[in-house]
Structure 1
């Protein structure tokens, strides 16, 4: 005979609760048709676990229940490797009756009369165990198998509640296990915010993919998923959201402060997120409730690349917020001197060059204006001074590092500009300073060269495109 009794379960599942004396019951059934069986139960860790009775008698074909007690309350489940077990030993009892002392003597002597019928591992189950494993999954060996056992003792509402800590921890294995066990992926919190939003806030792309594959949907009316992703510069998350819900995603939705995702990306200096938002229709000119545009946000934090990007696509460079401050003013207030040329002094320098305002030029340069910064058409201040024939300004700019052969977007230099506008003496001045004389010209135009100048040949440098700039 292989065994005398049968355990109803392969493991003893103990529902663990923080700081409480926890207990569970398990059942043994006598397989003998005519004879009672004596039972002796032991645990591998008697200091931690206790049984309501170690010795008992089970009548023929009857069952008996036993209680396993966790006698030492703790704040975390006392896992052990290998797992603690309850060992079931049995012996036939022909008389059907015996005192406890008789049973002790029966099992104290090893021999063929004693059977080892079962070894039942003790597993910890319930939401407290699952939550502990979620937060410690990187520290506990075989966490995955322990977690599946733990949630086997959870109701659906408990499984759903566990999704949130699993998502926040980025534990994709736990998220998958909970969903497979019946957790509701479209549950909402007290503010009706979805699990999609929670996964984005936690910046867990793998978790987001699991949720999307499981049919989880955002609550577009209250979720801030796009704002959260933009603030984190998670372009991969933004792309995934728009691929899944593009028709319902509003890239220009505003937060409680009136800020768009572009505001959030600008505030944190995330140019990649801004570029994505622009690519799907983001508006860089939105004003929040305090009158701040994304440019104000970027300037206040000193984000150079973001400021450059926004200046290329927005038209609010000199817009003022509710305090009457421009982006330039905010940069000054916060000591971001590296932005001042971009936000104001560069424009002032170009204006001074056009007007031949030598004092204005020197003042702007002293304040940090970049002599060779280009405008939207690629013209430097020297291009403008040359086109306007401003010889004084040309000299000041060259003295302060102006690049004499700087080329604009079409490949033309200040010398071309002077020639186009008919400023012969200024053209000669550029040549005397070493400006290249055989540079690119428009189709059908004469090449400017020193021989033609010496012979007073009229100059025809048809820069018609640039005339419209003046």
Structure 2
């Protein structure tokens, strides 16, 4: 059915088999099945209970991608949300799993948690999404504040430059006016007496 031994070890929560396959036989921890399922997807199941979390933790420690999607766009977070597996969900979030990934049906992990009635998973996902959105907004606000400050500084520099230009050209214009009126010669001759 397109599954390799590493996939079967993950499905059945066989941690020692996973360790043997990854560490001794050097099997790729993100090896895809024929339909794109990875061991990190397959180990997340309520049927395997605590072994799911142990296998997931091991796979993450070995560099498994917490956001990898199968052919249907299902990520490990989708899998944990639909299974209602809170520990796996938290581990994936801590590992940097993408919260707003959309599967082929247009569902985010939060949608699946709600659909399957996994309230705790839904609360965790909603809270984490809120925190991430808040951080993004904070970064955007800091950037806008920085851009505004740069704009103010540029305007101040331009204003100072314009004043300096006005003084310089004003002095030149005044001297030319004085020369045209013959006033510079009188002040020079008066100052020499």
Query: TM-score normalized by structure 1?
Result: 0.26
Is residue 67–residue 98 contact of structure 2 (8 Å, CA) maintained in 1?
Answer: yes
**Residue in 2 that maps onto 1:256:** 34
**Residue in 1 that maps onto 2:9:** 229
Is residue 263–residue 293 contact of structure 1 (8 Å, CA) maintained in 2?
Answer: yes
**Which residue, 76, 81, 97 being the options, matches 1:294?**
76
**Which residue, 253, 276, 281 being the options, matches 2:58?**
276
**Residue in 2 that maps onto 1:37:** none
Structure 1 residues 279 and 347, CA gap change in structure 2 (3 angstroms): closer
What SS class does the counterpart of residue 328 from structure 1 fall into?
helix
- Between Structure 1 and Structure 2, the one with more helix by share is 2
Q: Distance in 1 between matches of 2:33 and 2:3?
A: 10
Q: Distance in 1 between matches of 2:67 and 2:128?
A: 21
Is residue 77–residue 97 contact of structure 2 (8 Å, CA) maintained in 1?
Answer: no
Determine which structure has more spread, i.e. the larger CA radius of gyration: 1
In structure 2, the gaps of 5 or more residues are: 138-193
**Which residue, 239, 263, 285 being the options, matches 2:67?**
285
Quote the offset at 1:346 in angstroms.
5.0
Spell out the pairing of 1:35-434 with structure 2 (5 A cutoff). 224-246=4-26, 249-268=27-46, 270-348=52-130
Quote the offset at 1:279 in angstroms.
2.0
Q: Distance in 2 between matches of 1:236 and 1:313?
A: 22
**Residue in 2 that maps onto 1:86:** none
Q: Distance in 2 between matches of 1:311 and 1:253?
A: 21
Quote the offset at 1:337 in angstroms.
0.7
Query: TM-score normalized by structure 2?
Result: 0.61
Is residue 67–residue 75 contact of structure 2 (8 Å, CA) maintained in 1?
Answer: yes
Is residue 227–residue 261 contact of structure 1 (8 Å, CA) maintained in 2?
Answer: yes
Q: How many residues align?
A: 131
Quote the offset at 1:241 in angstroms.
2.4
CA RMSD of aligned residues (A): 2.4
Structure 1 residues 301 and 332, CA gap change in structure 2 (3 angstroms): same
Structure 1 residues 258 and 337, CA gap change in structure 2 (3 angstroms): same
Higher RCO structure, 1 or 2 (CA under 8 Å, sep 6+) = 2
Is residue 267–residue 294 contact of structure 1 (8 Å, CA) maintained in 2?
Answer: no
Is residue 3–residue 34 contact of structure 2 (8 Å, CA) maintained in 1?
Answer: no
- Between Structure 1 and Structure 2, the one with more strand by share is 1
